[in-house]
Chain A
Amino acid sequence: MTILRLIFQTAVLALGQLWANKVRAVLTMLGIMIGVGAVIATVGATEGLKSYILKEFDSFGPRKVWMDGTVPRSQRGRVSSTQYDLRISELLYIKDNAQTIDAITPMQFLSGTVRAGDEVRTGVSVTGMWPDWHEIEKRQAVQGRPLIWTDVNEVRNVCLVNDKAIAELRLDSDPSGDFILLNDRRFLIVGVIETKAVAQGFPGGGEARTELYIPYTTAIAMQPRDTANFALAQLKEAGGADEAKAELSSILRRLRRLGGEDENNFQVETVQSVIDQVSRVATGITVAAGGLVAISLLVGGIGIMNIMLVSVSERTREIGLRKAVGARPSVILLQFLVEAVVLCLVGGMIGLLAGAGLLLAVAAIPSSPLADAGVPLWAVGVSLGFSALTGIVFGMFPAIKAARLDPIVALRHE
């Protein structure tokens, strides 16, 4: 009780002291203020950016897996970049045998010229795919019907259009059953799907435009090759990313007859593993920020030690008097430690407010990716905790000096 009262009284006294020497106090606390402010802004921004990216990936589909053929590092430049593209036979094998995924589709992209009546659009994005695409992308037909295996097996000239196409090509409001020309071939529109807003930087991102979706087989008939640009699949279970990666890799390695030493000439990525990667990068940045703040707290701590030494020498007589009326050395030690901690905590709090303010200012910029960035509670706790620790560590030497003063010598000071 007595100790708590003493700490409280000392803290109040110390705050009064700070207020009386505002300029000096601010200069002293500058290092800590900058350190804490920087770390709060960095951590807040990193966390904000992370949650923004993760949200985008989430909208992209957390169960999504994509597969692609790649040229191994050792063969780069010596083989064509399409050498190891995924083969349809491989995808069919995976479709029939893989246990960890429940849907798969190759993705074949073409660019086409579309004509509907008098309207002509060039450079229209055309995607060739299997019916599983609807399930993987969660995009069902809102009008008409989805793509079906018969369309694929019979290499039909049918297509789905997005709702943007209806506007751009001035199609009927329910265009199912109408015909359009794609690269001068007649295609029957069988259904309409919603245009999905995909963030910039992701495949299909940016401004929504006319899109056509056709059977995969039809697409390669128009642009002969038996490989896919890449393939999409869907995890059977959301948490099964690692298992799926392992299974798909082992199937592909077997199919491609890769020996134990051979590098993969394909890659299997899950959204989950990208999310993990983003989280790792964010953690890395946070740790680096922590290192920076440690350095600035060190610098700030030296300032604190200096000012506390000045304070001890300025108040030598007061220390002598307090000792004369019965303050034990340990109590004097405590008093100066509390003062140093208060100084550091006040500096830390100012830095916290400054960092949070900076973050809010950036977040307020229109369409900023930091729109919902906030300061995580743990960062507040950690920075204030480290500020207090700085006070204790760097306040210790001056406090010991004060505690050891001889009362007579102290009272005779000046």
Chain B
Amino acid sequence: MAPVIDIKGITKVYRVGVEEVRALRGIDLTIARNEFVAIMGASGSGKSTLMNILGCLDQPTDGSYVLNGSRADRLSAGALAEVRNKEIGFVFQTFELLARSTAIENVALPLVYSRLAWWGSRKRAREVLTMVGLGDRMKHRPNQLSGGQRQRVAIARALVNRPSLLLADEPTGNLDSTTSEEIIALFKRLHEQGQTIVIVTHEEDIAGHAQRIVRLRDGKIISDNPTLADPIHRDYLDRVARASVAAAGTAIAAREGGSAREGGGVSDGVGGGVGGGGVRA
């Protein structure tokens, strides 16, 4: 199956007067279905620029972007709108809800621009709002909701068209830490249900929930590593740990003539601790 995101050599140059700002300087990135990726980096490193390009809100200056096996660069404004509507759910740091509309109207907004009948779109919007835990806040307007609830409305809106890609640019940037935990828990649940997710964040412990962390500096990827939340990576670390403990145990046993069984027990404990810590942190 084609990866959800496949970009090669993406650059983005902004022209401010005569000056050129090179926001992205050659990004290659592949993200497979149902990955949960966090993008990190200092302010001004190009995270938002990259997200906007991934979200088809902006076009790269150079390079190629293939989304779900079809080209998503150099499309017309209308074609890009269609891609945004069908394939992408975007969550903004500042929620971007329509102040005069109720929660359900906000959630149903993307459906206004797709081909779903009115009653169908209401039903779908209700379903998604219930899923993010706001089944009892349908008719509330944004100013009658807390920050966390607003962001959940925004997430419901991003999900309403069943996008193949959920993008979130600092979704917890305007929230306190408890609310941030709730939002990140929601992302994790979505991920467990099969959603492909890319989030931008400043906070290491938020990023720690993702399976993979991509770090940017000055418009370039400086590292791309799995986290402890990645089961394959965890398994790998587990095995490394077990092997090294076992090796250590063998070495000790060889030197002191002790039992190899004890060493095996120790290594099990270490592996479980690493994995469990990753999940619960």
Taking beta carbons and an 8 Å cutoff, which residues of A are in contact with B? 1-2, 5-6, 9, 16, 20, 317-318, 320-331, 407-408, 411
Contact = CB atoms under 8 A, between A and B. Distances in A.
A321 B57 CA distance: 10
Interface in B36-70: 52, 55, 57-58
B110 to A, nearest CB: 4
A325 B92 CA distance: 12
A328 B82 CA distance: 7
B52 A408 contact: yes
B: contact size bracket: 20 to 34
12 contacts: A5-B112, A5-B118, A321-B109, A322-B109, A323-B81, A324-B84, A325-B85, A327-B85, A327-B113, A328-B77, A328-B78, A408-B58
Please classify the interface of chain A as helix (H, G, I), strand (E, B), loop, or mixed, using the class held by over half of its residues.
Answer: helix
A330 B78 contact: yes
Contacts of A331: 81, 113
Interface string B71-111: 00000011001101110001010001010100000000110
B114 interface: yes
Contacts of B100: 16, 20
B209 interface: no
B113 A326 contact: yes
B113 A324 contact: no
A373 B115 CA distance: 49
Nearest to A322: B109
B52 A321 contact: no
Contacts of B112: 5-6, 9, 327
Instruction: Enumerate the 3 nearest inter-chain pairs by beta-carbon distance, A residue then B residue, closest first.
Output: A326-B85, A325-B110, A328-B81
A327 B57 contact: no
Given A321-B109, A326-B113, A330-B78, 11 more contacts: A1-B117, A20-B100, A323-B81, A323-B84, A325-B85, A325-B113, A326-B114, A327-B85, A327-B113, A329-B78, A411-B92
B157 interface: yes
Contacts of A5: 112, 118
A370 B161 CA distance: 61
Contacts of A407: 57-58
B98 A318 contact: yes
B78 A324 contact: no
Contacts of A16: 100
User: Which residue, of A6, A322, A326, A328, has the highest number of chain B Cβ atoms within 10 A?
Assistant: A326
A325 B77 contact: no
Nearest to A406: B58
A331 B246 CA distance: 65
Nearest to A317: B96
A13 to B, nearest CB: 9
B234 to A, nearest CB: 35
Contacts of B78: 328-330
Given A328-B77, A329-B78, A408-B52, A321 B114 contact: no
Given A326-B113, A329-B77, A408 B57 contact: yes
A321 B81 CA distance: 11
Given A321-B96, A411-B96, A326 B86 contact: yes
Contacts of B57: 324, 407-408, 411
Residue from the set B77, B85, B90, B112 with the largest chain A CB neighbour count within 10 Å: B112
B81 A327 contact: yes
Nearest to A8: B118
Contacts of A20: 100
B98 A326 contact: no
A311 to B, nearest CB: 13
Contact of B90 (A1, A2, A324, A327): A324
Contact of B115 (A2, A320, A325): A2
Nearest to A407: B57
